[in-house]
Structure 1
Amino acid sequence: QPKGLHGRRKDGSVFPAEISLTPFGTGRQMTIMAMVRDISDRMAIDAENEKVRQSLDAVDEAIFMFHAETLEFSYVNSGACRQTGYSSAELLGGMTPIDIKPEYTEASFQEMISPLLSLDRSVVTFETVHQRKDGSRLPVEVMLQHLGPSPSQRTGLMALVRDITARKAQHHRLLSSEQAFRSAFEDAPVGMAITDLSDTNRRAILSANTALGEMLGYPREVLEGMTFDALTHPEDREATRRGAADLTEGRASTYRTEKRYLHADGHIVWAVLSKVRLAGEDAPRALAHIVDISRRIAVEEERDKREQFLSFLADIRLALLADRPIHDVLTLVLELAKTALEAVHVVVAMPDTNDVLRITAADTVTAVGAIGSALPEGSQEARAFANTETIVLRDIATSPGAGPASRHLYQGLGPAVFTPMHAGAQVRGVLAIARPAGAAPFSTADLVFTQALASESAVALELQRSRDQQSRLQLAEDRERIARELQDRVIQRLFAVGMQLQGSLLSPDRLLKAAEVAIEELDESISVVRDSIFKLGSGPMD
């Protein structure tokens, strides 16, 4: 068939034609029979097939067509050649899928395509590896389907094969990243959790690590069924909800704050919360880092309290240096003890001359009694004074140390400390400080400050005692001086009166007048002596 052979119809139209010439003859005459066939439909089909072939060659994925019975390739596109490294002639020269699929045998491959041949399935998709001509292997995804719509056309199968090397590498990187994240999440030394931000008022815990469970006192499995709102201190809940809402609504991508959590046993856990919203999640979620800073907060609170204590002690010492009365100093001690130690009961008790403890100063909510009242022998103050040792009680109401006669003194009180006020080897009294029932016990720093207050009180009492002694000594010295001066003055007057009377003995008239003057002088001297004796006896000497 010469290329471009056409026939012309009666109406003048042209059609592509195929002509078959057949010679035959009888005798010497040769006859040629020509059979002309209109091939318009066939050429249209060929043109369409060429378009399909060009389209298949333009596809990046590899396309293989093979016979179901022999498994030999009947068509491959250029993508198949690039993928396998074989030429089209090599692949179509009797090669089968088994030649490029090292993971399959003929039997296992036939078993795999059997659902397609039986029309039980229209498509079979699986992952395997293809072995290239150079021996290298690459991961592929294969989608197999049969070409015929009826059992009579089940002889052809087509495979669309996609190179998934990049996808496998990405999956491996993603898997490695997830494993690294999971390892970092699980083994992190700080608390970590993934939270659901759909409800910012609750913030359900979707996942938590072991460190967070240990920090808050809950097993990890229990934490993952709880909400962060329930674990947050009531005073910090509203601020945390606002921060979560900012993340959910896109006003912020991160959130950081210092807040308080509630431990399983009820105590407060201070922590730094850093929260970042997770990208690519359908539901709003956030990753939370929670670092326990309770120790740092405790150190800062102890530092602040120590500075406050030192300031209070300085106030007491300034009062002592300013020679303020002992009552004012003890009142200052009471006020500072209540403020610094959050106390509701502060009492200073001192012994009288009979060693009976009496209330010297008090600021309390209990019925402890008036200033000067004696404390029972069974009181905690009396025990501390007798033993000269500090008594620390977590709950004075349940303490077995106090007798029944003194229990009414401590009604409504909880933690308490009774500190002797030492002045050298002697105990000048007892400082009693107590908090309300249910309050926190006294810390080590509190006890150090209590001891300092007791020492300052003892110093104040000792200083007052020294001042009293100095005043008595000064008074005695003044009396001695005045007595000497009085003695000298009276003796001088008596001596002068005697001289006047002696000089008047020679004249009776002068003697009478001198006697009158002497009597006046003696009366005045007696008056001076009487006034001096009264003044000398008016000051304390005990």
Structure 2
Amino acid sequence: MGQDDETRTPLPVLLEAVLGVGSELELRTTLQHIVDTAAELTDARYGALGVVDPERGLLTELFTAGLSEAERERIGALPDGRTGVLGALIQDPRPLRLADLTTDPRSSGTPPGHPPMRSFLGVPIRVHTEVFGNLYLTEKRGGPFTEEDLALLRVLASQAGIAIGNARLYETARRRERWIEGAAAVTTSLLTGETAADALMTVAERARLLADAAAGVVLQPTEEGGMEIVAASAPDDPGDIVGTTIAPGSPVLVQLLGGEPVFIEDSATDPRMTTHVRTRFGPSMMLPLQSGGKLIGTLALPRRRGAEPYTAVDRLLAAQFASQAALALVLADAQHNRERLAVYEDRDRIARDLHDLVVQRLFATEMMLESTRRRAVKSSGDDTDELLTRAVDELDSTIQEVRTAIFALQQPPAEAPATVRGRVLRETDGAGALLGFRPSVRFEGAVDTVVGEPAATQLLAALRTALAAAHRRPGISSVRVTVDATAALPDGRPGVRLEVTDDGAAEDGTTETTVTWQSPV
């Protein structure tokens, strides 16, 4: 009767263990629960569950039971499964039971600080047909491990494979959901009108967070045939990443320019990596950003040295994110171009309206006043002539101002002007922010055609000096700038003249100051 009780005793414990193993959906919690249960079920002092990387045949993680935190710290780096009994079970995934592992020829000993271990029991854990990892148990209390222990552990490993499969599916689904949400957030952000630089930074930062990477980096092709880092999200790293280039002809570059992803186990030691920032990174993914067969850049996601390598699921989800981000970048760029085109068209329309309606009417009015002035001179006198002359001059100045406004409307926004007119207008606009009003600007003659370098550079320097001096005078309320490309120098040579007149109070008490500068063209 007592023998029958001993035979049946493990069964309730096994059933309870099986039920407990399948109660979790979070993968890491499930793995820790499995190794704790296995040690308890077989009465082992120590237990471990090693997760095997199927591509490299190495242990990537080790969950332990029976070891205190102090003991784990004394042991140091945990084994990677390349050698020893742990490696033997990886190379030949079949149950293994040893009475004394120290006498086995496959044993490679234990590192300093490791607890003494003799009896050993190990079984593989399979998820479907793939070996996910191995259960290792040592130091059974009361003697070596028995065949009954092996049978119990095999049943537990079988059920653990099912539980791990479910947990992996759940974790993959959650990760996929996060990546999909991240891609949708990036698309929404890019289509709200961000600048090109902000758009690339958004992609880099969001990808870094999703991949749990040390940095998120976007590279773009250079004119020389290489690639340059144009955006980087790396909060804990120095700001020397942006601007780093990959030289033309690099093996990594050949793959990237061909639209192929590059996966690296250790950036610091991989000979394909040539940049100066590689020494601070370990596992890395470099994913092409391409849409419609066109490569617009590369998304790189390096992790720190010694960090967990990327899994096949990580690579797949990141590649899908990169494809979505590339499409969003193309759409955002197209939307930005459409908005700029709409601005250009609207400004062209305003300029045409000003030219066709306002200027023509002002010019017609000026002609009428000029004709009236000539008639009035014969019948009235000097007062009337002076009054009408002043009106004609004011209209002429207004026409010049409107033409200047038309020219400004025709300049591309947010771009440095290349013409002399545009550069003068940019200087006066900048001075307007300080003065509190915009100086009036008048051009005489074909300024852009006549005035070349270095006269244009000297003119702009003189203009800045005059505007700065005007700003320092008290009581200033108006500034008039005239650029005359029809002026002649005292020696008769053709030249350009700049006049800047303001109504500020000068040191000599005058209320109008004119600064004149001229140069040959």
State which structure, 1 or 2, has the greater radius of gyration over its C-alpha atoms.
Answer: 1
**RCO greater where, 1 or 2, for CA within 8 Å and sep 6 or more?**
2
- TM-score when normalising by structure 2: 0.47
Higher strand share: 1
